[in-house]
Amino acid sequence: MGKSAIDNRKFSFCPSFDRVPLDDLFVQCPDCTRFYAACCLELTEDAPKVCHHTRLAFTDGACSNNGRQGAQAGLGITIGDDDDYCWSIPVDDIVDFGGLRTSQRTELLAAIEGLKKLEEVNEMAGHGASTNDRMDDDDDDAERVCYVVVTDSDYVVTGITEWFPSWRKRRWRTSGGKKPANLDLFLKLDDLVSSLEQDGIAVGFLHIPREFNQKADELAKRAVYN
């Protein structure tokens, strides 16, 4: 049957879900309202069950007047339906000191904040890296906790999983010999991921079509226009 996997920080669902619609692979716990990836090992006749190993943060960024004078930016993050699990964050100098307000930077900032929110909420709930906090207590197969940033930004996913390792090998230069754009934020994201990995938490990134990221999109736009 296989399992969900993270390869070079890219998340993929288990092969048994190849024909399952993407929207059905994002499940919500009816008790805690948190979002999780469907569990490969627990299938029912109707739909994948909710298990609590792979914890999702849907993230998005919005930016008006992209990269121009007067540009305003906002971040949208949701890890569950409860208001306590949704964030609409305006980008100011506290969030990104001196940074140019652009769509690409907001997407990276949203990914960073999404991981931070997952960690903050899980620490408050006492859910550690080795905790088997599934709702079913009769399963002895404790899975490693996994955080997944779910975003419609291919720039973020391809950047951190493919470009970033190549830049590192070239001493922080692109294939054309130039300094990569937004390298400061990619470095921050990598530092955060590496820190979580050292704590025993697997971290992955998943690119999805925009229509599956509407909630985070609305939160990001609210931060800009409200």
In CATH, the number for domain 5-225 is 3.30.420.10
Q: Rounded to whole angstroms, how far apart are CA atoms 87 and 167?
A: 32
Contacts within 8 Å (CB) and 24+ apart, 44-52: 48/17, 48/20, 48/24, 49/136, 50/135, 51/134, 51/135, 51/136, 51/143, 52/127, 52/133, 52/134, 52/135
pLDDT, residue 143, reads 65
Mean pLDDT of 109-120: 98
pLDDT, residue 221, reads 98
Domain ranges (residues) in the chain: 5-225
Confidence of residue 42 (pLDDT cuts 50, 70, 90): low
Closest listed residue to residue 194, CA positions, set 115, 102, 123, 80: 115
The gap from C-alpha 103 to its chain's centroid, in whole angstroms, comes to 17
Mean pLDDT of all residues in the chain? 90
pLDDT, residue 51, reads 80
pTM of the model: 0.90
Cβ(217)–Cβ(58) under 8 Å? Answer: no
pLDDT, residue 131, reads 43
Confidence of residue 127 (pLDDT cuts 50, 70, 90): low
User: pLDDT digits over 183-208, tens only?
Assistant: 999 999 999 999 999 999 999 999 99
